[in-house]
């Protein structure tokens, strides 16, 4: 489904839910659950925590959806809620020392690697993924969020501007700086970047 079809389907489902079709919300969750889960996983680094966090996001959305003023901006509104939940959960877990107990080598911590690769290629790929993710995690909050929303969630600049409540030009400049910073940090490990 392309972005325009997703936007149209979302608008139809939001209207149906607001008109009393409770199944429409279930279909909305199905449309967005993977993206929200992956966003949460980038914050909390644990599959179980990410599942709980995504569920909390959708509970909040369910309760607040009738109050949404601009129905056409559901996606941006959903991401605003998700980002706020992610930030809050990250702070809470960090205060408890949750992240000091997580290893970058833990298969549950980061994305699962699959394919027909041999053990050596699999290890190299896993190390690369861990390096990129840990490098992104070490960046400033706004840089990290813009990279996640644009490059992993594939949201438009306008959507990111709305979600993070910053001007469009700032989104573009911060994204450019974040990508440059990421590339510079990774050059230490990969000379051909």
Sign of CA dihedral 38, 163, 139, 182: positive
Q: Which helix (H) or strand (E) holds 171?
A: helix 168-187
Contact 111, 130 (CB under 8 A): no
pLDDT at residue 105 is higher than 60 = no
- Does domain 1-101 bear CATH number 1.10.1740.10? yes
pLDDT band per the 50, 70, 90 thresholds, residue 39: very high
Predicted pLDDT at 113: 39
pLDDT tens by residue, 124-140:
777 777 788 888 888 88
In the predicted model, what is the mean pLDDT of residues 8-18?
A: 94
pTM value is: 0.75
Predicted pLDDT at 101: 56
Which long-range CB contacts under 8 A does 68-76 form with residues at least 24 apart? 68/14, 71/11, 71/14, 71/15, 71/18, 72/7, 72/11, 73/162, 74/10, 74/11, 74/14, 74/28, 75/6, 75/7, 75/10, 75/32, 75/155, 75/159, 76/159, 76/162, 76/163
Say which residues have a Cβ less than 8 Å from residue 57's Cβ, sequence separation at least 6.
36, 40, 78, 81, 82, 85
pLDDT at residue 183 is higher than 50 = yes
Predicted pLDDT at 108: 44
pLDDT at residue 70 is higher than 60 = yes
Top-confidence residue, 130 or 86: 86
Say which residues have a Cβ less than 8 Å from residue 73's Cβ, sequence separation at least 6.
162
Contact 92, 86 (CB under 8 A): no
In the predicted model, what is the mean pLDDT of residues 26-47?
A: 92
Predicted pLDDT at 110: 42
Contact 53, 40 (CB under 8 A): yes
């Amino acid at each position: 489904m392309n972005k325009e079809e997703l936007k149209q389907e979302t608008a139809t489902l939001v209207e149906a839910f607001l008109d009393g079709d409770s199944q429409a919300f279930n279909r909305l969750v199905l449309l967005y659950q993977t993206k929200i889960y992956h966003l949460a996983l980038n914050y909390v680094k644990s599959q179980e925590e990410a599942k709980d966090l995504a569920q909390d996001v959708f509970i909040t959305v369910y309760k607040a959806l009738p109050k949404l003023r601009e129905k056409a901006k559901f996606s941006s509104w959903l991401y605003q809620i998700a980002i706020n939940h992610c930030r809050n959960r990250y702070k809470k877990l960090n205060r408890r020392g949750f992240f000091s107990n997580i290893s970058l080598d833990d298969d549950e911590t980061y994305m699962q690697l699959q394919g027909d690769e041999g053990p050596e290629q699999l290890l190299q790929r896993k190390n690369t993924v861990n390096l990129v993710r840990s490098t992104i995690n070490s960046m400033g909050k706004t840089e990290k969020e813009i990279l996640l929303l644009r490059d992993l969630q594939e949201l438009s600049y306008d959507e990111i501007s709305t979600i993070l409540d910053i001007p469009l030009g700032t989104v573009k400049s911060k994204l450019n700086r974040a990508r440059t910073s990421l590339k510079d940090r990774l050059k230490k490990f990969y000379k051909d970047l």
